[in-house]
Amino acid sequence: MSIAAFCRMILLIFLLKSISYSRLFVYAYVAPISINGKQFVNSINNEPFYLKGVDYQPGGSSEVNEDRDPLSDPLACARDIVLFQDLGINTIRIYSINPDLNHDKCMSMLAIAGIYVILDVNSPLQNQHLNRYEPWTTYNSVYLEHIFRIIEQFSHYNNTLGFFAGNEVINDKISAQLSPPYVKSVIGDMKTYIKRHSPRVIPVGYSAADDLNYRVPLSSYLECAEDRSTSLSVDFYGVNSYQWCGRQTMETSGYNQLVDAYKNYTKPVFFSEFGCNKVLPRRFDEVRALFSEEMFTTFSGGLVYEFSQESNNYGLVSISSDGTAQLLGDFDSLKKHYSTTILPDSKQVSIAISKDHKIQVDKNETPLCRAKYDNLNINGKVAKGLGSSLIKSGVDVEKGKFIQLSDSDLDCTLKIVDKQGNPWQGQSKIKKVNDLRPYYGKTKDEEENIGKEKSRKKNNGNSISPSIWSSAVLLLANFVYQSFLI
């Protein structure tokens, strides 16, 4: 045998071992995330989905305007997605978006890179958020139209993971007296709009300041069902937590109590912001805690605040006005944890849940609303029906769609430099994880049937499944191709 032939053979054996037909074709597809009980799940294979991500608002919250927002500049997206992949994340949160801009290219790039987006529907601009002290002045049809337009546009992307109806709207004594029923109304309006107009059910949640006065009451109030209807209940709950600073443990940080507070929660809970910066440089040891058995039964992961360096000093990366991104020390420190974190699968989760006696697994039903919640006033009267004509007719906005990207669209053309200012040695283009062709594979039910079919055939003797034939054809094609190369 010639050396070339020998190499080909080794290559073939290697390919045979590494190529899994189903991975290559069936799952190279952007699976929408849905919710099953306390968990986010991949809607195709039903495996749990854990958020491992960062908050992304380059330029700060003021950087949304008529001309730009975090997903309007494909070159900036390419640069940052390359860094997201290097960090090892699967989700970003974006705080403000302008639905008059086109986001197809950035969303397609994120989808190809295997990254989901969770989106706040509010912005600091006028008519685009609730005023927490006078919510009645801002809860109106102009505001509702804004949030419906964002929903309408982003519902069409499979990598839209969910929408936040609000971020820390209730954060002090006065807002806790005035705002709670308004937040619930907004959640209800969003869910109704999605039900009527979106191609799939996209979950709606709330992102809360972790204040002990409201931790339990607010999460319970937003979760509860009114008159047995869950139409105003959050689908998931985000907690902004900054209590693990420097070297800590579950106990010294108070994470153990935080976890206990949400053990019985019937919806997914995760950190919508974390990463205390009181002790610098940040170590991010809390990542290990977050994905440990003690926490992953209750928390579905989290998002580090935040990707870009702004005046509040939480950045992983500093972005200058010419578009150069410089990695900061915290980038490496977070990468060390994220890139080595293995997310739990369904088997690990069910074993861990069965061992945890504090979890009430069968309490899956949404609790009914009580008359009173500590430290909150839930009796304010909210005007009803302000969104009904918009919900009926739908709102006018360009609907998002995935677009075909050329190979050069995946190149990072803006400069990335390391801590010392030298050119960064990492990848220079986005790694393709997903394909944006429509999915023609099998749904989970179909797969189960195929599974049954297979085992039936196995028992009956020998029958080669179509996927093995396809793999064989693939290998043969590859063999011919390689023969030409060598």
Ligand X SMILES: *[C@@H]1O[C@H](CO)[C@@H](O)[C@H](O)[C@H]1NC(C)=O
What residue ranges bind ligand X (CB under 6 A)? 29-30, 32, 158, 260-261, 263-264, 360, 402, 436, 438-439
Q: Which is nearer to ligand X, 222 or 304 (CB)?
A: 222
Nearest approach, Cβ of residue 273 and ligand X (Å):
22
Q: Lay out the sheet containing 325-327: strands in order across.
A: 317-319, 325-327, 416-417
Running DSSP on this structure, what letter comes out for residue 233?
S
Q: Which is nearer to ligand X, 29 or 242 (CB)?
A: 29
Query: Angle at CA 49, nearest 5°, toward 257 and 228?
Result: 70
Q: Which two tokens stand for residue 145?
A: 């139209």
**Residue 123 to residue 63: CA distance in whole angstroms:** 10
Nearest approach, Cβ of residue 116 and ligand X (Å):
12
Nearest approach, Cβ of residue 19 and ligand X (Å):
21
Q: Which is nearer to ligand X, 239 or 436 (CB)?
A: 436
Nearest approach, Cβ of residue 261 and ligand X (Å):
5
Q: Which is nearer to ligand X, 29 or 136 (CB)?
A: 29
- Between the alpha carbon of residue 397 and those of residues 55, 99, 123, 133, the distances in Å are 26, 7, 17, 30
Q: Which is nearer to ligand X, 122 or 297 (CB)?
A: 297
Nearest approach, Cβ of residue 30 and ligand X (Å):
4
Q: Which long-range contacts (CB under 8 A, 24 or more apart) does 256-263 make?
A: 256/294, 258/210, 258/215, 259/294, 259/295, 259/298, 259/299, 260/358, 261/215, 261/216, 261/219, 262/219, 262/237, 262/298, 262/299, 263/298, 263/356, 263/358, 263/359, 263/360
- Between the alpha carbon of residue 87 and those of residues 4, 258, 289, 325, the distances in Å are 38, 27, 18, 14
Nearest to 324, CA basis, from 55, 56, 57, 58: 58
SS3 state at 241: strand
Chain centroid to Cα 56, Å, comes to 12
- 10 Å CB burial of residue 479 (0-12, 13-18, 19+) is middle
Nearest approach, Cβ of residue 179 and ligand X (Å):
24
Q: Which is nearer to ligand X, 262 or 274 (CB)?
A: 262
- Residue closest to ligand X when measured from CB atoms: 439
Residue type, 435: D
Q: Which is nearer to ligand X, 360 or 463 (CB)?
A: 360
Q: Which two tokens stand for residue 223?
A: 């979760």
Contact indicator for 94, 101 with CB cutoff of 8 Å: no
**Residue 249 to residue 251: CA distance in whole angstroms:** 5
- Between the alpha carbon of residue 206 and those of residues 40, 91, 146, 369, 395, the distances in Å are 15, 17, 17, 17, 23
**Residue 179 to residue 148: CA distance in whole angstroms:** 20
Nearest approach, Cβ of residue 103 and ligand X (Å):
15
Known catalytic residues are 168, 273
Decide the pairing of beta strands 33-36 and 39-42: antiparallel
Q: Which is nearer to ligand X, 263 or 336 (CB)?
A: 263
Nearest approach, Cβ of residue 436 and ligand X (Å):
5
Backbone angles phi, psi at 344, to 5 degrees: -65, 145
